[in-house]
Structure 1
Amino acid sequence: MRFEMPPATDRTEGGAAAAGAGRPPMTAVFRCDADPAIGAGHVFRCLSLATRLAALGWCCTFAVGAQTQATVPALARAGFAVVPLPPDEDAELRALTATPADLLVLDHYGRDARFESACRSAFGRILVIEDAPRPHDCDLLLDATPGRTPADYAGLVPAQAGLLCGPAFAALRPDFLARRPVALARRPGRIDRVLVSIGGSDAGGASALAAEAVRRALPDAHLDIVAGGAAPGLPGIRRAVAAVGGTLHVDTDAMADLMAAADLAIGAPGSSSWERCTLGLPALLFTVAANQRANAAALAAAGAADNLGPPAAWSVERLAARIAVLAGDPHRLRAMGRAAAALTDGNGALRIAMALAGRATAANGAVTLRPAMAEDADTILDWQREPDARRFARNAAVPTEAEHAAWMAGRLAAADRVTAIVELAGQPAGLLRLDPHGQGLEVSILIAVAAQGRGVGRAALALARRLAPGRDLWAEVLPGNDRSRALFRAAGYRHADGNWLVAEVPR
């Protein structure tokens, strides 16, 4: 994972920095498209990011071409406003810039730096989601390709642009994060269930090829085949399912469940790769588009998948033999699952939201947020053991190692909560948590003793406000905790009721 933070600007570091004294909820417009030729990956990764931002109080709108809504029915079901765009690029630009917004998220191979520059007058910031280095005029750029580094975009983006590189930043829906612990724990090293999901276009009839090969190699395995309702190859997929058996899922919303239950996937190396990796699912990959080759090679190099190349190079017999060999190697199956799970943890959308929150200033350096990870468990427990760390906690007892491990596992799988490490100059300095509280979020903060007295706590609360710009923030401060009460009041919180203080979003 590589992350280069953009320098401080008035927009990223001012604005809503003071809780309760800031601005109305932030607005984001997502410009992405889908059709049977390019698939639906652009829309689904934008939906994943929009879902996370909306949970934090952002107001999100999708601006798409006419064919996109027909190709991705899930877009209409997601509950976001959808604005249809005209097919002419100049007319599209006029429509897109007619209503200013704080953020434009652009995930579109057909749009470039010229288009982005023309959007500058209407959008406070521009986030580009990309798969291969090319010039862009943006403030943040996300490229989830394994092995991608900021150096790959040197000279291609403005010098001050933030670069989010690697699959740790892949935006996934929260149900993948929630199912990760159970999915990783159940990987058996055998293949009882196979998931075939080649992509929205099913180029070259790869789904039918894979389904027949699975049935020949593993006649007793349960077979799930996923297809898009607008895929030109859907009639052929239906015939293949009728011939070999299995369950066909068209335009399904249950991909996380299907991947968690599967022992092997046959798919394409597009954005669904990171869904499989989050759940530790070994995969055989068909490359059905030129832009997928880098992902396929990187996933194979990491040991997370086998790169089969184009489906036209495979016969049913040859693919069945390949599946049979893998099914007979439980050690390799488990190793592939571990390698896949190591590439991403499903928290990419939250990492992007934290990058949008930017940084705040404290003594001795910049303060930033990042999602807590399993490897932070010992450090967090050490902070809990520091003198007076739990004196004013609801439960003053220091947790045992077993209690802390169970708490940590629950936090990491909780898609409706934020568990963030507060970093000072790139080093862990504390813990910030956001939990559901009525119509808002409850804020809890713990700053390590070594980082106290430097303004880290106040900076972290400023970042919490920017991270969740449209949610009321609540804090319970127990009697006698005068230092904490002063911290929250300095950050703009006011007394609400009993021990509670609140930072409300302006209505």
Structure 2
Amino acid sequence: MNIIIRADASPGIGTGHVMRCLTLAEELRQRGANVHFLCRAHPGHMGEVISARGFALTLLPAPVMPFDADDYATWLGAPARDDARQIIEALQGMEVAWLIVDHYAIDQHWEQLLRPHTAKILVIDDLANRYHDCDLLLDQTYGRCEEQYRPLVPEHAVLLLGSQYALLRAEFARWRAYSLKRRTSGEFRHLLVTMGGVDAANHTSLVLTALRGCELPPDLKITVILGHGSPHVGEVRRHAASLPWQTEVRCGVDNMAELMAGSDLCIGAAGSTTWERCCLGVPSVVYGSAANQQEILAQLGEHGALLEVRSMESLYTVLMGAVARRESLSQRARALCDQLGGSRVADHLVPVPCERQDVVLRRVQWSDARQLYEWQIHPQTRRHSRNSAPPTWQEHCEWLRARLRNPSSFMYLIEQSGLPVGTVRIDLVDSCQDLYETSISLDPCYYGQGLAQQALVAINRAFAQLSLLAHIKPENAASVKLFSRCGYRQTDETHYLREARHDK
């Protein structure tokens, strides 16, 4: 399966669009997709980063129009029709399953030109300010609602809205448990400052200047993070050297999750890094200068997930407020965003592969309702269910609608050579422990063929950072054997646990 990503980076555009697309690309590659990036050769285009991650890359010609931060049309670097033509030329001879677009300069006119050259289109957006011709739209902004996008997309388009769909690198999943556990400490010993990958406006220097006049613990350690392409490294280092606390400036780090997890508080920029801090429960003071960030920060502030700094003059007051409220800020932040956004999005694009090439796990859709119902009411299924009474068709439909709307429910159809043979799902039980319950049901015609084990092993691999719980009746010897073989250990008479794996 070929998947194309159109996204750009530059000092003016920032690195966030390409970075979140790289995160999604990693998830898709793990599922067997071939991912190819198409990026314009802006200064700081991040092509070397994309290539270093092992993805195919086509660089479009250098920009032919000047960049204007206030005019999104200039961010494309070329007239939209010319950009579309260049993309079409790059796609010649390629069968494209999905075209992923993450660009503020692209709207339905560009997308309509590409329609004949791809099976489906996914748009990643944050603005909700223009029309799109897409099949799937992702906006990971907290508080986004369907009413904001429904008039802007085709009737058939599926909307993935809210911070539960935030695209976070796998390293944040690996460090989440450690980070959340250490939030119970009352110490304030490590302050992290990270104002964006490029920080073209040099907000980092403004923060360090403001910190100089603050009364902070004498043994405080400050870590300052800048991206590879930051143009102000020298000035930032000079400001850091003048501070009375141990201060380290690091550029182009590859362990951001570890640094966040090890910090007690963060002064940061708005944007996609907000969701990284939320996932790890890092108490944060956030400064957002872009107009499209103000509403988001206000909503997150009202929720109690962060404290907003509106001017550097107020930084000390806000920072001390955050120190006093660290535990509360952490709890509110972690509730907004877990580590599963990439899986939720990828489920709409590519199935989860199993060890056997003829078996995959495909996301359940409403069109599967009748098939699922036939399995649900089968006597063999009811015999091993908690509730032995079969549901009515209406009850089943209501249950399925609720599952499909719930981002904390992952429900898959087990397919063998394209034919449905069963279903497996995991549902959130305890968000504080990232504990999910596993349920599996197989068409009795396919018992004894190892398909249930294929599905459970695939779930174990796809959700390694979660703890998975299974409820099994003692008389269901086949399921006891199956789950035990797949790494579940018995915890009481009816429950079996597969513990999370947090490899760093």
TM-score for both structures, normalised by structure 2: 0.70
The residue aligned with 1:103 is: 98
How far apart in 1 are the matches of 2:250 and 2:143? 33
What residue identity is the alignment partner of 1:326?
A
The residue aligned with 1:220 is: 219
How far apart in 2 are the matches of 1:223 and 1:401? 47
Higher relative contact order (CA 8 A, sep 6+): 1
Q: CA 1:77 to 1:363, structure 2 compared with 1: closer, same or farther past 3 Å?
A: closer
Q: CA 1:348 to 1:107, structure 2 compared with 1: closer, same or farther past 3 Å?
A: same
- What whole-Å deviation, never above 9, does each CA across 1:49-107 have from its counterpart, x for those lacking one? 00111011111111111126555753232111111013334333123123241111111
Contact 2:472 2:480 in 1 (8 A): no
The residue aligned with 2:23 is: 48
Which of residues 130, 133, 138 in structure 2 aligns to 1:137?
133
How far apart in 2 are the matches of 1:252 and 1:145? 25
The residue aligned with 1:92 is: 83
Q: CA 1:41 to 1:372, structure 2 compared with 1: closer, same or farther past 3 Å?
A: farther
What residue identity is the alignment partner of 1:246?
T
Matches within 5 A, 1:264-283: 264-283=265-284
Deviation at 1:192, TM superposition (A): 1.1
Q: Secondary structure at the match of 2:294?
A: helix
Deviation at 1:149, TM superposition (A): 1.6
- What whole-Å deviation, never above 9, does each CA across 1:9-54 have from its counterpart, x for those lacking one? xxxxxxxxxxxxxxxxx11111111111221110110000001110
Q: Secondary structure at the match of 1:277?
A: helix
Matches within 5 A, 1:158-307: 158-187=154-183, 188-214=185-211, 216-218=214-216, 219-244=218-243, 245-307=246-308
Match status 1:339 vs 2:338: no
Q: CA 1:138 to 1:217, structure 2 compared with 1: closer, same or farther past 3 Å?
A: farther
Q: Secondary structure at the match of 1:121?
A: helix
How far apart in 2 are the matches of 1:305 and 1:151? 26
How far apart in 2 are the matches of 1:373 and 1:58? 28
Q: Secondary structure at the match of 2:97?
A: strand
Contact 2:228 2:252 in 1 (8 A): yes
- What whole-Å deviation, never above 9, does each CA across 1:280-334 have from its counterpart, x for those lacking one? 011111112112123212221221111113xxx323xx4224323432x1xx210
Identify the range of structure 1 (256-265 vs 396-405) with the bigger mean alpha-carbon deviation: 396-405
The residue aligned with 1:399 is: 490
- What whole-Å deviation, never above 9, does each CA across 1:438-460 have from its counterpart, x for those lacking one? xxxxxxxxxxxxxxxxxxxxxxx
Which of residues 315, 320, 343 in structure 1 aligns to 2:316?
320
Contact 2:189 2:219 in 1 (8 A): yes
How far apart in 2 are the matches of 1:386 and 1:56? 35
Match status 1:115 vs 2:110: yes
What residue identity is the alignment partner of 1:390?
S
The residue aligned with 2:479 is: 390
How far apart in 2 are the matches of 1:359 and 1:168? 19
Identify the range of structure 1 (156-165 vs 67-76) with the bigger mean alpha-carbon deviation: 67-76
Q: CA 1:308 to 1:124, structure 2 compared with 1: closer, same or farther past 3 Å?
A: same
Q: CA 1:234 to 1:406, structure 2 compared with 1: closer, same or farther past 3 Å?
A: farther
Runs of 5+ consecutive residues of structure 1 not aligned to the other structure: 1-25, 416-507
How far apart in 2 are the matches of 1:162 and 1:95? 28
Deviation at 1:403, TM superposition (A): 11
- What whole-Å deviation, never above 9, does each CA across 1:373-396 have from its counterpart, x for those lacking one? 453646764633364252542637
Q: Secondary structure at the match of 1:83?
A: strand
What residue identity is the alignment partner of 2:498?
W
Identify the range of structure 1 (373-382 vs 277-286) with the bigger mean alpha-carbon deviation: 373-382
How far apart in 2 are the matches of 1:382 and 1:341? 25
Deviation at 1:222, TM superposition (A): 1.1
Q: CA 1:322 to 1:77, structure 2 compared with 1: closer, same or farther past 3 Å?
A: same
How far apart in 2 are the matches of 1:233 and 1:180? 31
How far apart in 1 are the matches of 2:272 and 2:112? 26
Matches within 5 A, 1:302-381: 302-309=303-310, 313-315=311-313, 318-327=314-323, 329=324, 332-357=325-350, 358-360=363-365, 361=368, 362-364=371-373, 368-369=411-412, 372-375=427-430, 377=436, 381=469
The residue aligned with 2:442 is: none
Q: What is the aligned-residue RMSD (CA, Å)?
A: 2.7
Q: CA 1:189 to 1:109, structure 2 compared with 1: closer, same or farther past 3 Å?
A: farther
What residue identity is the alignment partner of 1:221?
L
What residue identity is the alignment partner of 1:136?
H
Q: Secondary structure at the match of 2:471?
A: helix
Contact 2:198 2:230 in 1 (8 A): yes
Identify the range of structure 1 (196-205 vs 335-344) with the bigger mean alpha-carbon deviation: 196-205
How far apart in 1 are the matches of 2:328 and 2:210? 23
Deviation at 1:150, TM superposition (A): 1.6
How far apart in 2 are the matches of 1:212 and 1:189? 27
How far apart in 1 are the matches of 2:494 and 2:259? 31
Match status 1:157 vs 2:153: yes
Contact 1:270 1:295 in 2 (8 A): no
Q: CA 1:272 to 1:194, structure 2 compared with 1: closer, same or farther past 3 Å?
A: same
Q: Work out the number of aligned pairs and report it.
A: 380
Runs of 5+ consecutive residues of structure 2 not aligned to the other structure: 64-77, 351-362, 374-396, 405-410, 413-424, 440-468
Contact 1:211 1:223 in 2 (8 A): no
How far apart in 2 are the matches of 1:363 and 1:406? 26
How far apart in 1 are the matches of 2:163 and 2:223? 26
Q: CA 1:292 to 1:387, structure 2 compared with 1: closer, same or farther past 3 Å?
A: farther
Q: CA 1:240 to 1:405, structure 2 compared with 1: closer, same or farther past 3 Å?
A: farther
Contact 1:377 1:405 in 2 (8 A): no
Deviation at 1:264, TM superposition (A): 0.9
Match status 1:31 vs 2:32: no
How far apart in 2 are the matches of 1:294 and 1:408? 39
Deviation at 1:221, TM superposition (A): 1.4
How far apart in 2 are the matches of 1:217 and 1:72? 42
Identity fraction in percent:
34
Q: Secondary structure at the match of 1:246?
A: strand
